[in-house]
Amino acid sequence: MKIKKKESSKNSSSPSNNKYDLYELAKQTLKERFPHGHPSFVDTLLQHMSLHSLKNASYTRGGDVLGNFRRVSNILKNYSSFPSTTPQGVAIIYMLKHLDKVMWDMTCGVAPSEENLNDIAIYINILNCMEKDRPRSYGPPQINKDPSV
C-alpha cells in the first residue's frame, strides 16, 4: 500500500498538524482498504466517529460509555405500565436523556449546561402542546394493565 505524504512544512511537528496528518492517513488507508464503497462513505463514517467521541465524552465524563442509556432504562424500569408508544411517552423518554445528562454532570461536579437545561424546557413545552392538541374524547393514554403483553 502506497501512502501519500503531505508535504512537510516548518510547523509539521505541531500537535494539530500531526492530528491532521493522522486523520488524513486513516482516511486514505480506509479508502484504499475498502475501495468499493461510495466515495463519501469513509468521510461520513469518520465524521460520525468524531461526533460520537465528542458526545460520549460529554455524556459519560469518563464513566460507562453506555451509561446514559443504562441509567434512563433503569428509570423506565420503575414504570412497567409507562405509555412508551404514545407521542407523550416518546417525548418524556427523549427528555429523560437530557435530564440524565444534567444529573450526571452534577454528580461529576460539573454545572449543567444551558443547552441541556433548554432541551429539557423544550420537551416540557412540547408535552404541554401535545396535551392542548389532544382531543378530549381521546382520554388518557391507553395503559396495558396485563404484564404478560
Mean pLDDT of 77-97: 92
Q: What predicted TM-score, i.e. pTM, was given to this entire model?
A: 0.64
For residue 7, what pLDDT is reported? 46
Residue pLDDT, tens place only, 66-85: 988 999 999 999 998 899 99
Place of cell 392538541: 133
Alpha helices in 5-86 (DSSP H): 15-33, 41-60, 67-77
CB 86 within 8 A of CB 138: no
For residue 121, what pLDDT is reported? 95
Q: How would residue 145 be classed by pLDDT, with cut points 50, 70 and 90? A: low
**Residue 127: exposure state from Cβ atoms within 10 A (0-12, 13-18, ≥19):** middle
Mean pLDDT of 85-112: 93
Q: Which of 43-47, 121-125, 131-135, 138-142 has the lowest mean pLDDT?
A: 138-142
List all residues 6 or more positions away from 93 whose beta carbon is below 8 Å from its beta carbon. 72, 76, 84
Q: In one letter, which amino acid is 19? A: K
Radius of gyration, alpha carbons of the chain = 23
Place of cell 498538524: 17
